[in-house]
Structure formats: C-alpha cells, structure tokens
Amino acid sequence: MLIKRKHFMATKTRDVKKLTRSALSILGICTAAIAPAAFASDSLLVEKTVTLKFRLSELNTEGGDYKIYAKMKKRASSVCRADSSTLRYLGQSKKECNDDLMDKFVKSANIDALTTIHLSQKPVIKTAKLALN
C-alpha cells in the first residue's frame, strides 16, 4: 500500500500573504494619518479684507490729511504685524506688506491730498543706463 503524504507550502505562503497585507494596511493607515498635516493650511490662502474708517470732515481740519495718513500707516503696520505667518508663507517682509497695504488704502480712498502725501513718502528710485562694450 502506497501512502501519499500531502506536503504543501500553502500554510507558509498564507502566513506571508497575511503578513504582507497587514504591513501594507498599517503603512496605508500611517500615510493617511500623516498626509493631511503635510499640506499647507487653507487658512493662509484666504483673502482678507482690511477696512479703515475716517471722516471726510477730518480732511478739512488743519493737518487732517496727515493725521488720516498716519492712521492708515498705523492700521497697515498692525495688520502686517498680526499676520506674520502669512508673510512667512508668501516670503514677504513686513515693509513690503506695509507698502502694499498703503498703496491699496490710498488708491481705494481716491483723495488727492492723501495721494500727494503718499507719493511724497515713497522713495525715488533712480535708474542708470550702462553701456555695454
């Protein structure tokens, strides 16, 4: 009588398959948990509206236009100081932020006296032409 013994590698391959599946599932869970933290926060990319209120009657007083301009500068610097994380994200300095906000404030106000003061505060950039030999 011939006895056939059944020796299969199936049990060991099943263990390897189970181990592989569990390792991949753990890797997937870890990747899913880490991936959202790797992306930039959407709150940095939200457009913010900065408002500044002043009375037009203040312009008629002596030195009122300079007071309003100083109020604009103070508001711009406080906004840029408070939003330093966005500045770091955009790679912008506080001075650049102040300059941008002041340009927007003066443009949106559309008052000639404030525009004149603003243009006189900006540094004049001189360009030089160089000849190439």
Residue 84 lies in a domain: yes
- Residue 9 belongs to some domain of the structure: no
The two tokens of residue 84 are: 């330093």
Q: Is residue 100 part of a domain?
A: yes
**Cut 0.75: pTM above it:** no
pLDDT at 31: 65
Q: What's the maximum distance between 2 C-alpha atoms anywhere in the chain?
A: 122
Backbone dihedral angles phi then psi of residue 30, each to the nearest 5 degrees: -65, -40
When divided into structural domains, the chain yields a total of: 1
The answer to whether residues 80 and 94 touch, using CB atoms and an 8 Å cutoff, is yes
pLDDT tens, residue by residue, 90-112: 677 788 888 888 888 888 888 88
Task: Quote the domain boundaries for residue 92.
Answer: 56-121
Whether 95 is in a domain gets the answer: yes
d(CA 9, CA 28): 29
32-84 pLDDT per residue, tens: 655 454 445 545 456 777 777 888 888 888 888 888 888 889 988 888 887 77
